[in-house]
Amino acid sequence: MKITIIGKVIKQLREEQSMSIEELSNRSSVSVAKIEEIENGTVTPSIGVMIKMSRALGARLGTLLDGQESMGAVVTRAESLKSSTEHLSGGEMGTNNHLGFYSLAQGKKDRSMEPMIVEVEAAVDGVDLRSEHEGEEFIYVLSGAIEVRYGQQTHILEKGDSIYYDSIVPHLIVSATSDTAKILAVIYTPY
């Protein structure tokens, strides 16, 4: 799936509801300029921004991520992960592209959780674009080591470690080393 699909889905949902960009901005607290950039595919939104916009549009986060849904079980094969990378920015400004997302439930209708494999790179020096949104997150480190900045706390997690937290608290996940880490992340967003 190309990242531009997110902007197309947002625009389609907005237009189906006869909602102006200004109205979506007011409902989501995302700037008009940012929404225009997302809809045009020039900027990739953070998970937090996507959650705000999906709520304002009355849609699930998964709808924005994959656009197509199925009622039955969804199987994701290992080989499909290699070709379905999603690079979403960590912050609204789109300057923190240190995360690569691989959806594990693409196409599952009415899901409340968003499971994904995430490749985590080191953060850009001096940039701390934390995310915050409703819901909860569970992270399990598959390889490497990550640094989780959660509120005023910093946690270093290594392979086999996990963390579960309320995502309303500002948080940021980066590689704890110069090497890329890999995690299983499950994000729950109440609808």
**Model confidence pLDDT, tens digit, residues 144-179:** 999 999 999 999 999 999 999 998 899 989 999 989
Average pLDDT on 6-13 reads 85
Instruction: Count how many domains the chain has.
Output: 2
If asked whether residues 51 and 106 sit together in one domain, one would say no
Residue where a domain terminates, one of 66, 96, 113: 66
If asked whether residues 116 and 36 sit together in one domain, one would say no
End-to-end, the C-alpha distance of the chain in Å comes to 24
Within-domain flag for 73: no
- The whole-angstrom separation of Cα 171 and Cα 160 is 20
CB count in 10 Å sphere of residue 59: 16
Name every residue whose Cβ is closer than 8 Å to that of residue 178 and which is 6 or more positions away in sequence: 122
Q: What range defines the domain where residue 56 resides?
A: 4-66
If asked whether residues 96 and 181 sit together in one domain, one would say yes
If asked whether residues 175 and 101 sit together in one domain, one would say yes
If asked whether residues 88 and 178 sit together in one domain, one would say yes
CATH for 12: 1.10.260.40
Q: What is the DSSP letter of 13?
A: H
Q: Which residue type, as a one-letter code, is found at position 55?
A: R
**Model confidence pLDDT, tens digit, residues 100-136:** 667 777 766 667 788 888 888 887 666 667 788 888 9
Within-domain flag for 72: no
Within-domain flag for 164: yes
Residue where a domain terminates, one of 66, 96, 114: 66
Could you tell me the pLDDT band of residue 41, with boundaries at 50, 70 and 90?
A: confident
CATH for 157: 2.60.120.10
If asked whether residues 120 and 59 sit together in one domain, one would say no
If asked whether residues 119 and 173 sit together in one domain, one would say yes
